Amino acid sequence: MFFKSLKLDYLFWQVCPWPGFLKFDFLTKKYFLLIRHFLKPFELGKAWAKVAGDKIYYDSRLGLASYQSLLTRHRKMLNLAKIDTPIQTVIDIGANVGFFAKLMRERYPRCLIYCFEPVPLTFETLKKNFPDDSRIKLLPLAMSSQRGMARMRADSQDSATNSICSKGSVQVRTETLDKFVKKEKIKTIDILKIDTETSEALVLRGAQKSLAITKYLFLEVTIADNPRYTISSLFKLLSSSRFDFQLVAFRNYADTSERRMPIMDTLLKNTRLV
């Protein structure tokens, strides 16, 4: 774990465009928080750190490490895809505490961002991370294949793992992306991110019209021990007569291609639009 952390630090230093003193400050706080939460319990919504002048409420006892991973690896994928054209609309499904939205705001300062996060405590933490941003729309909804209600398993010690589960203790409202997009009269989705802890297929089934107006898609894919979809059944939802998504970058959670690939982050482009 320590060597993986150092590898991430090296990549972070290479990829992140921040001034050196800010990167050094970030890494110092990262390791301070890792040590701190071995000694002091983590509390979602109360634990925070100052990063580049912003108060960041983080999502687990790992402190800023999860934020660093997203800032680094998703930024690298954006660089590989060369997404430098004006980005106006971003939709973040499974927003958690807002790390991806933070990256989008930093990289595309003028974009409008819709963040969906259904678990109440996590949603309240998300709101704390965006107290004064009028171009961030925060919605306490779970995106799925139909409108209604669902149960979710919520982990206050690691909110990134919250997921729809029939035995979950939290009841949430569900909506389809297609109905939301129609209601909001959204004409183009420049970047759509879906990270819903094995419920990605449900989201895609309720987003078939929306995919036709989506240029780029960040999609987490859970491969190991996932009864809800296979990689082939999931990717089948990314091609139709109206859209066709091609893989342009991915991150294997095992970090090397020779190892078992339990989960991966993918970045795809709609070849009908890009």
User: Model confidence over 3-27: pLDDT tens digits?
Assistant: 889 999 999 999 999 999 999 999 9
Distance CA 207, CA 178 (A): 5
Please name the residue that has the structure tokens 């230093």.
Answer: 13
- pLDDT score for 274: 94
> What's the token pair of residue 217?
């898609």
CATH number at residue 149: 3.40.50.150
CA distances in angstroms from 174 to 6, 16, 121, 171, 218, listed in the order given: 39, 35, 17, 10, 21
- Number of domains the chain is built from: 1
pTM of the model: 0.96
Over residues 36-42, mean pLDDT: 95
Strand partners, 115: 92, 138
Its domain, for residue 152, covers: 78-270
- The verdict on residue 94 lying in a domain is yes
- The verdict on residue 144 lying in a domain is yes
For residue 252, name the pLDDT band (cuts at 50, 70, 90): confident
Distance CA 218, CA 70 (A): 12
Q: What is the per-residue pLDDT across 175-204, written as a single tens digit (0 to 9) for each?
A: 999 999 999 999 999 999 999 999 999 999
Q: What is the per-residue pLDDT across 94-149, written as a single tens digit (0 to 9) for each?
A: 999 999 999 999 999 999 999 999 999 999 999 999 999 999 999 999 999 999 99
- The verdict on residue 4 lying in a domain is no
- The verdict on residue 17 lying in a domain is no
- The verdict on residue 194 lying in a domain is yes
- The verdict on residue 50 lying in a domain is no
Does the pLDDT at position 256 exceed 70? no
- The verdict on residue 107 lying in a domain is yes
Buried-exposed string 96-105: b where 16+ CB fall within 10 A, e elsewhere: bbbbbbbbbb
- pLDDT score for 2: 80
Residue 4 host element (H or E): helix 2-15
- The verdict on residue 7 lying in a domain is no
